[in-house]
Structure 1
Amino acid sequence: MRLLPILTTLALPVSLALSATSLAALDLEGMSAHERDAFRAEVRAYLLENPEILMEAIGVLEARQEQAEALRDEQLAQINANALLDDGFSYVGGNPDGDITIVEFIDYRCGFCRRAHPEVAELVETDGNIRIITKEFPILGEQSVLASRFAVATKLIEGDEAYKDISDALIALRSDVSDASLTALAEAYGLNAQAIINEMDSPAVGDILAANRALGDRMQITGTPTFVFGDQMVRGYINLSQMRQIVEAERADG
């Protein structure tokens, strides 16, 4: 953690404890060596006598950083709204006319995506007024890329309903992702496995994944799951109760 912001945050409470003479000499550059030593000694003595002030200052600094990050994320969501909400190729589920839209960036090999998946599904199902948009965002290696290519190819070849089935199956898949396991998965759902496999390396599939990656880069997304609730970004796993609280807050903000 950087010391300068903490010292800046500490300046007010420390300065209030100093004498008027010391306050008048807070320009460290203008102080003599003796004055600087005296000032440092006074600050040190104050902190030793009141160590809790350091934790308070760190808390203030962290709160300010969180506020700045939340504002940045809100601006990123607003700037990239079209790509998030209407890119023309991402899967849209739940209630297409819902008053709340949730965008989720997923990687099928991500443990926290797997943990969040049933909770997202329960939220959408029990609420009834949420639109959910899925962004394929494979970042955990070759098997992640294969799984996303297969999911996108399924959507292009077989449509949205088949994509939803395959996406749910892939997030639950515990075996390695390979051509053989993907073929078996497609056949289990009565899909045209060979056509989907052939489509996986098509320019269309590549373009969709590249667009998602570019969007993620613009939004400074480095991990999954990442959620966007309206203008609010949530980086990482949250549980069902937290999701509901965010949805309620978004509705209250109208």
Structure 2
Amino acid sequence: MKSPLAAALCLALTGPALATEIGDMTNAERAAFRDEVRSYLLDNPDVLMEAISVLESREQQAQAQSDAELIAENSEALFEDGQSWVGGDPEGDVTVVEFLDYRCGYCRRAFPEVSELIESDGNIRFIVKEFPILGEQSILASRFAIATQRIAGDDAYEAVHDDLMTLRGEVNQASLQGIAADHGLDWDAISAEMNVAAVDARIEESLALGQSMGISGTPSFVFGDQMVRGYVPLDVMRKTVADERG
């Protein structure tokens, strides 16, 4: 596989026919050609930068097309699984899906900005996918959130989700029991529900979905038919939503 630099050189200085001719050159001819290329690039570095820009644009377009195909292939699991918590406007014209881990620093950084996006826009359907990949505390937090939803409903899930995103300190029985108490939830029922097979299945399905879509880190987002891997600031989120509407 060519490096980006090598690919850009081919793009800038050769076409398919010339590339074939280079393969037929003698060693001396090839060395002379390389010297000419080097001299040309030293005299005209803007040509190389232009070629690299074109190459990067083509790669971005190919990635966007691949992402759109992945989203289409997994649309039911992403948007209509019947289990994931749905916030914002359930009838919103753009759906945003976030894969998150409660112990992820960048997820926590994105949390207030995602909240602001949903609240200020008013026409976004927002779906959360539990994606605990950072260890036992991450898994414990997701179990607690899912069990809360199953026992106490969507409003309770939203409340503990927000608390988990801003929790200071360790995720353990004491901290989770404290969150439950703050919201008047039945800790005994929730703690028992955390270990049922259905909660295991929910987490496994989310992890499998992320893997099938090439997601390896958090946060990762789906904006309609676009994917955004990693943290982006609020203005980029708003632009992506606007692009979807456009």
TM-score (norm: length of structure 2)? 0.93
Per the alignment, do residues 90 and 15 of structure 1 end up closer, same or farther by CA in structure 2, a change over 3 Å counting? Answer: closer
Per the alignment, do residues 91 and 36 of structure 1 end up closer, same or farther by CA in structure 2, a change over 3 Å counting? Answer: same
Report the AA paired with residue 119 of structure 2. E
Per the alignment, do residues 38 and 239 of structure 1 end up closer, same or farther by CA in structure 2, a change over 3 Å counting? Answer: same
Per the alignment, do residues 4 and 224 of structure 1 end up closer, same or farther by CA in structure 2, a change over 3 Å counting? Answer: closer
Deviation, 1:61, is: 2.2
Asked if structure 1 preserves the Cα contact closer than 8 Å seen for 2:114 and 2:234, the reply is yes
Asked if structure 1 preserves the Cα contact closer than 8 Å seen for 2:147 and 2:199, the reply is yes
Deviation, 1:24, is: 6.5
Deviation, 1:214, is: 0.5
In structure 2, distance between residues paired with 1:43 and 1:149: 60
Aligned residue runs from structure 1 range 52-201, under 5 A: 52-201=46-195
Deviation, 1:30, is: 1.5
Asked if structure 1 preserves the Cα contact closer than 8 Å seen for 2:8 and 2:48, the reply is no
- For 1:9, the equivalent position in structure 2 comes to 8
User: Which stretches of structure 1, 4 residues or more, deviate above 6 A after TM superposition?
Assistant: none
In structure 1, distance between residues paired with 2:138 and 2:29: 61
Report the AA paired with residue 47 of structure 1. L
Deviation, 1:245, is: 1.3
Deviation, 1:217, is: 0.4
Report the AA paired with residue 8 of structure 2. T
Question: SS where residue 176 of structure 1 aligns?
Answer: coil
Structure 2 regions of 5+ residues with no counterpart?
A: none
Per the alignment, do residues 5 and 113 of structure 1 end up closer, same or farther by CA in structure 2, a change over 3 Å counting? Answer: closer
TM-score (norm: length of structure 1)? 0.90
Per the alignment, do residues 123 and 15 of structure 1 end up closer, same or farther by CA in structure 2, a change over 3 Å counting? Answer: closer
Asked if structure 1 preserves the Cα contact closer than 8 Å seen for 2:92 and 2:125, the reply is yes
How many corresponding residue pairs?
Answer: 245
Deviation, 1:12, is: 4.8
In structure 2, distance between residues paired with 1:41 and 1:231: 46
Deviation, 1:53, is: 2.9
Identity of aligned residues (%): 55
Larger Rg computed on CA atoms: 1
Deviations 1:74-114 (A, max 9, x none): 11111100000011110011111111111111111111111
In structure 1, distance between residues paired with 2:215 and 2:81: 18
Deviation, 1:3, is: 4.5
Equivalent of residue 218 in structure 1, options 208, 212, 222: 212
Question: SS where residue 208 of structure 2 aligns?
Answer: helix
Asked if structure 1 preserves the Cα contact closer than 8 Å seen for 2:11 and 2:51, the reply is no
Structure 1 regions of 5+ residues with no counterpart?
A: 17-22
Question: SS where residue 27 of structure 1 aligns?
Answer: helix
- Larger deviation: 170-179 or 63-72? 63-72
Report the AA paired with residue 160 of structure 1. D
